[in-house]
Amino acid sequence: MRILLPVQASPFAARRECLARVLGNRQALIAAGRARPRTYAANTFPFRAASHFLYLFGLPLPGALGHWDGNDWTLYVPEPEPDSALWHGAEAGFDEIAARVNCPVRPRSALSLGRDVATLPTPDGNDELAALLGRSIRAGHLDDHDVPLAEAMIALRLVHDEAAVTELRAAATATAAAHAAGMKATRPGLRESAVRAAMESEFVARGMTVAYGSIVTVHGEVLHNEHHGNLLGPRDLLLADVGAETAGGWAGDVTRTWPVSGRYSATQRDLYEVVRQGQLDTIAAVRPGVRYRDLHLLAARRLAEGLRALGVLEGDPAELVADGVVYLLFPHGIGHLIGLDVHDMEDLGDRAGYAPGRTRATEFGLRYLRLDRDLVPGMAVTIEPGLYLVPAILDDPELKKRAQGRLRRDKLDAFSDVRGIRIEDDILVTANGAEVLTAAIPKAPADVERAMAG
Ligand code: GLY
Ligand code: MN
Ligand code: MN
């Protein structure tokens, strides 16, 4: 069944017009993609339209293609299969779709393409696109010919319009409900999957889904841990990195870390407060003109200072950052763009995240930084510092060498009831500063403990 979303006064025509102005007479084809089979052709993963398509047309229409022919936009939609109504219900007619997207709609069979049509790969369904265009199209790879289209999309999607911000707020609201439910559901003896279920049920109930595979784990030191089978022990911290995706495709991305017992131990609280202060100070520095990489360095500096105050690190905080010592405990980047994708536009590689002339560093501590642009109003980013006790890092002879004795393992051993702590919020850059879209989610220890008590 084609689902028509309750969209507000259509932002899509305005977005298409902006893109068309940049494209001029160069043709472009924007594909929605197809659902990928799970086991056999009729048993598919849930369809998720490509984000560039959703940005311009707003509706998850499998197999649809938006075509800019140099003069006009037309949306080409596959005609329903003869028995489709039997299995999937009546589909919206072309007139109805046209009214919703404010764009002429024609059957896909009527599509005729000129030469040199630019496109962007989709997560799924590139074979069809390749057959239409007569050239190879691969996810994660751009032809030179497609680069101007990619750059134009990036310029548009980097700065969220009002409709996008409304969607990000809706994602934040659902994400807040999920974290409240997770905190309330947590108790010793449950499995991680039970807390995950409590959290994700908030999305299902709202007709939403997850923006990425939920991380709900007592092994928060495994950064993208999607295993949910551990039992919650009374001394464990539970790290929950869970975000909603709205029906329109917009993402929330929030992490909180709470004590299974309902009360942070003294050691858990000490490290948690280092992360929280680091996050608050970093968020306070978000404003237009600030270079995102400098926010990463600021967070690293604050973590180094906090760890030094606890005796875990020794030495000058600036040197602990410059020499990469703090990254033994904070190995990832401070965050990323967020929008229709949780890591927005990462399908285009670093082209979206890195400003022209900037490239990703190769050294440990900076090589996982996904964003290095100067912030502008309307951008949305995450700020997500963390501290992790990762045996593979702490025992790595090369990395140990860089610490030169400045990481006190004996002091760190006192924090044996901590494996990983991350605190993550979604931030909208405003004209003068920043708005924390996910501010409603408890973060101060007393607030988290209260939320857990229900
Ligand atoms: N949830 C993935 C991330 O925080 O980047
Ligand atoms: Mn994130
Ligand atoms: Mn996250």
Examine the pLDDT at 440 and tell me if it is beyond 50: yes
How many angstroms does the Cα of residue 241 sit away from the middle of ligand 3?
Answer: 5
Name residues whose C-beta falls within 8 Å of residue 407's C-beta, 6 or more positions apart in sequence.
312, 313, 325, 328, 329, 394, 400
End-to-end Cα spacing for the chain: 39
253 lines ligand 1 (CB under 6 A): yes
Tokens, residue 17: 């017009």
Closest atom of ligand 1 relative to the 212 alpha carbon: 1
- Residues 261, 183 contacting (CB under 8 angstroms): no
Task: Give 271-317 as a 3 state SS string.
Answer: HHHHHHHHHHHHHHCCCCCCEHHHHHHHHHHHHHHHHHHCCCECCCH
Banded pLDDT at 400 (limits 50, 70, 90): confident
What is residue 152's three-state secondary structure?
helix
- Residues 314, 404 contacting (CB under 8 angstroms): no
Tokens, residue 243: 């975000």
Burial tier of 84 (Cβ tally within 10 Å: 0-12, 13-18, 19+)? middle
Mean per-residue pLDDT for 40-51?
94
By most ligand atoms within 8 Å of CB, the mutation choice from 338, 343, 421, 423 for ligand 1 is 343
Mean per-residue pLDDT for 321-348?
97
What is residue 239's three-state secondary structure?
strand
Banded pLDDT at 3 (limits 50, 70, 90): very low
How many angstroms does the Cα of residue 384 sit away from the middle of ligand 2?
Answer: 7
How many angstroms does the Cα of residue 334 sit away from the middle of ligand 2?
Answer: 8
- Residues 119, 130 contacting (CB under 8 angstroms): no
Share of the chain above pLDDT 70, in %: 98
Tens digit of each residue's pLDDT (9 = 90 or more) over 54-101: 999 999 999 999 999 999 999 999 998 888 888 888 888 899 999 999
Closest atom of ligand 1 relative to the 335 alpha carbon: 5
pLDDT at position 124? 83
47 lines ligand 1 (CB under 6 A): no
The pTM score is 0.96
- State how far the Cα of 418 lies from the Cα of 259, in Å rounded to an integer: 10
Count Cβ atoms below 10 Å from residue 376 Cβ, excluding itself.
Answer: 13
Nearest bound ligand to the CA of residue 210: 1
By most ligand atoms within 8 Å of CB, the mutation choice from 217, 239, 338, 384 for ligand 1 is 384
Place of tokens 């608050």: 280
pLDDT at position 82? 82
How many angstroms does the Cα of residue 24 sit away from the middle of ligand 1?
Answer: 36
212 lines ligand 1 (CB under 6 A): yes
Q: Give me the DSSP letters along 343-362.
A: STTGGGGGGTTB-TT-----
pLDDT at position 7? 45
- State how far the Cα of 83 lies from the Cα of 355, in Å rounded to an integer: 49
